[in-house]
Amino acid sequence: MDSARQTVLSVHQRIVDNGDKRTDPWLLVYSPVPVTLIFLLYLFVIWAGPRLMKHREPFELKVVLIVYNFAMVGLSVYMCHEFLVTSWLLNYSLLCQPVDYSTSPLAMRLLIILRKKNNQLTFLHVYHHSTMIFNWWSGVKYVAGGQSFFVGLINTFVHVIMYSYYGLAALGPHMQKYLWWKRYLTSLQLVQFVLIVVHTAYNLFADCNYPDAMNAVVVGYCITLIILFSNFYYQSYLRKTKKQK
């Protein structure tokens, strides 16, 4: 028992020691423990929430959804602007930008459960949002800056459009006629992942002072998302079209 405890503590210490020291004071970044607890809480809510709501009436959360989604639009716009402006001012290279080590999303899942929209809690949904917790933590902890700016920039841009759609949809059924572009939102997400794979894979073979291990993880992860989102697109749009014919 003591040996296992020492092993866990040793691994934890290595994770902490090998991180970017500039990020140590940042909230939730120094240790993997807080994000791991958030991840476990997320899985617990996904498991227990539908069971607690099984014999209850769904909550009417229209106002909450509208406020939440448009707040996310505002936050995404701000983050996209910051990624764009800071990378532009620092003359970041699109093809190769090393990390300068010098000293110079989960509320929506709860809303889905309370509204008893359990059909939206798909494997894609849970996989994507639970793994993103660790992905972004790892990015901030070990490669805060450099080449990773591209992922943040394109991701926040897509989220501006995505949460705009959710916010408009939350206004009510009368908005559905204006939301014909839903399938193109999924297409945009797929384009995002393809661009990230191409951009990151290039750095695996280029002479760029950026961690190859991080590039490999990003490429592998985005490939899984391309597969899952492609399946979602097929099941939601192409297969339905065939059945209607």
Closest CA to 236 of 187, 184, 183: 183
Q: Is 12 a catalytic residue?
A: no
pLDDT at 107: 56
Neighbours of 151 (CB within 10 A): 20
Reported as a pLDDT band with limits 50, 70 and 90, residue 94 is: low
Between 11-25, 72-86, 89-103, 130-144, the lowest mean confidence (pLDDT) is in 89-103
Tokens 């079209």 locate to 241
pLDDT at 76: 85
CA distance 143 to 140: 6
Between 35-44, 66-75, 120-129, 171-180, the lowest mean confidence (pLDDT) is in 120-129
Neighbours of 159 (CB within 10 A): 20
CA distance 237 to 90: 42
Closest CA to 216 of 130, 154, 129, 143: 143
Report H helices in the chain: 2-17, 33-53, 62-89, 107-114, 123-142, 149-170, 182-205, 212-233, 239-244
Question: Does residue 162 surpass a pLDDT of 50?
Answer: yes
Reported as a pLDDT band with limits 50, 70 and 90, residue 104 is: very low
Q: Read off the pLDDT of residues 6-35 as tens digits, 9 standing for 90 and up.
A: 777 777 777 777 666 776 777 777 778 888
Q: Give buried/exposed letters for 31-40 (b at 16+ CB in 10 A, else e).
A: bbeebeebbe
Q: Read off the pLDDT of residues 186-241 as tens digits, 9 standing for 90 and up.
A: 899 999 999 999 988 988 888 888 888 888 988 999 999 999 999 988 888 887 66
Catalytic residue among 81, 128, 159, 199: 128
Tokens 């227990």 locate to 48
